[in-house]
Structure 1
């Protein structure tokens, strides 16, 4: 079961509208923000990859340019058919010496001079009649460190050499076919190249006219010279850059440890963005590794900007929503305030909304309804007021004959005993009493008049009871200036004299009047015989036939005039006395 405190919680209309709007705005902003963030991060990744591809493309072009420049050196020999024919038909003797000195060696030297970096050319010729020419060929010496720029050797030196047997064109039957396919040249680290950081371009020399192999050219260069552009700093200090050959072996590792391509993929999976670029003309590929942390840093920046933009948009949309909610909730509050005023009895309030929307229609309907209800209530009020006045007049008419009967009986007894002066005083007192009672027909009189009226009544009773009656007044000044229903004190004094006075003893009466908050309290206190609770309850019973008529009369008249929260209460004890309390509102004019 829901607690009653929760059931009583009322959420204003403006809060409901604002809450619904906030949910919609929050979902929209979060959705748009998430889409913008993911799209931005994806864009950053694509841009980073494109930027890396461009950078790798520049490196690839640089490497390709340098490898092609080395290949162009061998082209000068490969496509020189005069050279190929000379190598094929070379003969010993003077002419052979002259050809070697004046043509072959100068041509080789000129070819090497065209190289942009340190280069050494080794020619393994298929003609054993050509004289060999070479420098230091020991395996423990760097071939590029010596003074020789070219060597001329017999092809027979390569018989049984492993790297020569493993070349891919050893299995081809036709050299012309290799030339046509462009596979007559391959890059390999052979001999002691790997020890000294060198690499060689191996190319078969071929006499196209005779379709005959004339030899093998080995052009050796520094690997660092070829891969000078392949530096990881160009793609980021924390990045890595590798150059792999066709077997997946690392020719160069910049920014990270050297490892095979397969090992690389297993090691960096999930930690790096891997980008590849093949190098045309050679079976190499550039592989760049970009740490995901760098992408995350850029993504963090995008995330911060996205959150800031989303928060700004959220604040702006909430402010706009607050303005609209305030505008419409103000209209709803106006309607609620008018309805509450109507519930409190204010039917003259009107709602004025411009426009033709639903609020304006509600305002028009409310105004028509309140106007109609006001007219009906006025009609009912007038009818009820007339009925109330008739009942008051009837009750007051019942009091006067009762009092007059008792007073005339007292005058008769005084006249019988010849007390002419007392008769005169009593007749004068009754005249004053009725003058105050009539009050020009008004049912409400000033409190001063009510106190004066009960005083006139006590003056009459003092003549009747002589020294048996003592009266004290405790009237506070703040009660003066207010109004009350007339003849509300006299019936209680009369009731005391009729029922509380016992035997030959006397009785004391105290009249009290004071203001307490927004009420005025009258008290009539006596030290008579008192009564029990059962008697008090019987007095206030509507259908009671024995006694209490005057008390019920006053109680009913007060409630008819002021409402059920006001009236008469009695406290009494046998042998001690009775205290009657009369409560009316502190009003300064007729209600």
Structure 2
């Protein structure tokens, strides 16, 4: 080896200038191109992997939040039946069937049936009306036994076929049983009973079936013991044709894990479902885009060989005249390697040098175009996710509004009830807006006015409000549902503590070609630390905020939506002082309605 190196060195030192230039430039150019390709490949590969992993985590988290909302609704239904119906009813004098039927009609999209049993397993009431099958003793069922043994808890079962009641068509559905112990009153005596709510399995499955992780990834649901509750291949698993690592996943805490299953590596994303012991599990195959795949390595080898042949062909014909153009070409490639992708590649010298420069420029242009396409696709996906979040209607607000209407009718306040119903209809008409995301400012403020009218009925003597919009701002464009979440926060976090002297002022204005919409209240206010935490600018600003009360579209989501549609120079600003109130301002461009594309 040493003799070979010495021979090459001797030949190099005694060779012609053309040979020396050919050998030195070939080696240096090959190294530069190889390092550039490997560096760019590794960097973009890592960025793409991180992006895909983040999006998969976000999708699993959204499924977990949707499931949490669904289960909370079912728990509220159980509490409503018990505390508002069963607990206040003497079964010797009154029946609870009608009240249960009304509640069933409200939740019929999610509930298969609701049944109230005595502690001896006798049916007290059902919704819808049904007849218990002959010979059925519910006392031996797991859901009944668990409810009677642990009377203080709610119990969620695993999927099973509901076959307690007679069905002439033998159309028995898959359900998930929710059961709890209740106290039944008969005259002066009380006894334990069991309330059973059979949740439609199809309703729960719909939360998962529409979610698609990257590649062939999927999401499934297990209980605390690893028993499958939902899986896209549930029937194949039950028949033994497919296996799943659900028992292993049951031992995982919330997080991301790497698992080898059937000889293949895959990522496991685990999120626990509160108060049930269930876990949402996302499965994504590995690797998707890595240096280890044979196709990628073959592609790199082909490119390397192509450039090697091109360099040899060019260097045979090169002369002293090519030294400077080649050096300049190498420098421009080096700038691309350092991240200056927007800088032009040098194209000059002889035709061969120009061809090489053009080829490198084309490669950089293609990479730049791919990067822009990836960013554009990511922004479009963010818009779709925010639009899906915007489309979620908080059932808690609707339930409270309907409760107000029922109360007004029962108390003879029919005119007030008509006002609330009319405001609610207008509220949801503007919320839908025929699928449009961009609406006039006057429609957005009318939407807020209807919302405040409803809340004013709910919070009697708590606060007043004023809405001021000059004519020049009425027909400007705004994103729908950006003012109402701010007003909602003002009510829940400020007006809820007032006693008749609360004031919310909403003003729109135009200045220097910009539109501003301000929501000010005279509530408790907040410190500067709290203000900064509401709209963080670090990595946490990309996380979805989950509000405990309200529409679910918080300040950060309003900020994201404004910036996605109008640019980073617009958004939300907050001014607040403790005990002096809070002012939230939305900054948007002054664009006449109809001149902006609605995406």
Q: Which has the larger radius of gyration?
A: 1
Does TM-score exceed 0.5, indicating one fold? no
Per the normalisation by structure 1, the TM-score is: 0.36
